[in-house]
Amino acid sequence: MANDPMDDRHRSAETRPAFPLGRRSRGHDQHPDVEQLDAVAGGETVTRSTRDHVEVCLECRESIAALRKVRADLSRLAAMTMPGDVAERIQAALAAQLPPRPLHDPPARPGADVTTTDVTTTDAPAPRPAPDAGRSPAGPMASAPTGAPQTGTPGTGPGRRPTARPERRPAPGAAAAPRRDWVSLAAVCAAFVTFGAAVLAFYSLRVVDAHHPVAASSVAQGRESAGAAAAGAGPGRLTMMADSRTTVAPAEVGQHGRELLTGRIAGSVALSLPLTGPTGDATDAGAVATARSTGAVPFQAVAPAAARHPASVVAAPPAAAGTRLRALLDTPDLRSCYQSLIAQSGGEILAVDRIRYDGQSALLIVLSIPMQPAAARVLVVDTHCGVVSVSAALWYSATTLRR
């Protein structure tokens, strides 16, 4: 009987490496290269064999999730630059720590008899006694027992005291340069640490104050380019939801996402999706109460004819459209899936539709991309997302324009 090929799936979780990129392309069941996993993480088109392998390999899915997290972190930090006043303060601190120095060498201190120049001048004529020793009456052989140390040190002889070594007598002021370098390095490091802390504090304030009127207005301005001005004008951000059950091919995922965002999918409804609040009828009732007090329409349903005529948008009762879609697309398991996607991508849930993909029931989710208000990321995930991890439930990912 043939033995099973060595694979990390047969090893325990304690002994299996967390990110086994070193074992790529080895063994019978070889893993895809890192470039292919990065292409999958970025939503690029890969081969069928690679997608099949990723669907069954837990290690590759974990690697893809890690790569997506790195992409999200880099996209959030891409537009962050050092303010001009911080750079000016760094230059001022460096200038204060470095006093002006004269261009010529500093004068020697009083009482310092030996300097680097003195040592060089004293040691220079040391080889001159060698011809005199050859002319001594004792002959060449008598020069050996003179008692001169044969250490190769210049400036030593039978009637002379050894001169000071240069490395033991540094020039005045030579020790001050390293100290000034350390002070400059410490000042630069402190400035960069302060700048990094300020950037992190600013970003955390933006995340915490997402529902502040100023932050909400900036989010609404970003969504105007995608045709979602109605969502920003309401009492809260709205998410387009639908249950079209349309069969969508991989090449049609981007087009379906754009149609869903613009309300051209039959039966689509704009609902508030507060991922930190309660679900079900309590949320619907709160939205209706807020809408009545502000005079806004909390739900907007698209009639079947709106698939051909986008202008025919009519108001639908919340109980008829919103409650049914919430019971289908706003379950606790799916809410956990939405929160995981938001944490990994840094964006927001713009639209959700229940479709059929590759002959199976799936969810098409449209996410916003930070710093790119005109683009969106379209994902196709398993309907059991939330019960299983997001990396295991992800089937397809692509980036497209919102219009």
DSSP notation for 132-144: HHHTSTT-GGGGG
**Rounded mean pLDDT of the chain?**
67
One-character DSSP codes across 144-161: GGG----S--TT--TT-P
Is 196 buried (19+), middle (13-18) or exposed (0-12) by CB count in 10 A? exposed
Lowest mean pLDDT among 147-161, 313-327, 359-373: 147-161
Mean local confidence (pLDDT), 352-378: 92
* Number of neighbouring beta carbons within 10 Å of residue 278: 9
Q: Which residue has the higher pLDDT, 101 or 5?
A: 101
Residue 349: phi and psi, rounded to 5, are -80, 115
Give the Å distances, CA to CA, from 330 to 140, 149, 240, 290, 337: 106, 93, 12, 20, 10
State the Cα–Cα distance between residues 148 and 160, nearest whole angstrom: 10
Q: What is the pLDDT of residue 357?
A: 94
* Number of neighbouring beta carbons within 10 Å of residue 230: 15
Nearest to 20 by CA among 70, 28, 30: 30
pLDDT tens figures, 181-220: 666 777 777 777 777 777 666 555 444 343 443 334 444 4
State the Cα–Cα distance between residues 390 and 267, nearest whole angstrom: 27
Cβ neighbours of residue 173 closer than 8 Å, sequence gap 6 or more: 106
Find out whether 300 and 289 touch, Cβ atoms under 8 Å: no
Instruction: State the Cα torsion 145-149-150-153 to the nearest 10°.
Output: -150
Cβ neighbours of residue 19 closer than 8 Å, sequence gap 6 or more: 62, 63, 66
pLDDT tens figures, 269-313: 888 887 744 444 444 444 434 433 434 333 444 433 333 334 334
pLDDT tens figures, 125-143: 445 544 444 454 444 444 4
Q: What is the pLDDT of residue 234?
A: 41
Lowest mean pLDDT among 164-178, 234-248, 357-371: 164-178
Lowest mean pLDDT among 22-36, 57-71, 272-286, 319-333: 272-286
Radius of gyration of the CA atoms of the chain, in A: 37
State the Cα–Cα distance between residues 282 and 315, nearest whole angstrom: 20
Q: What is the pLDDT of residue 291?
A: 38
pLDDT tens figures, 107-122: 555 554 444 444 444 4
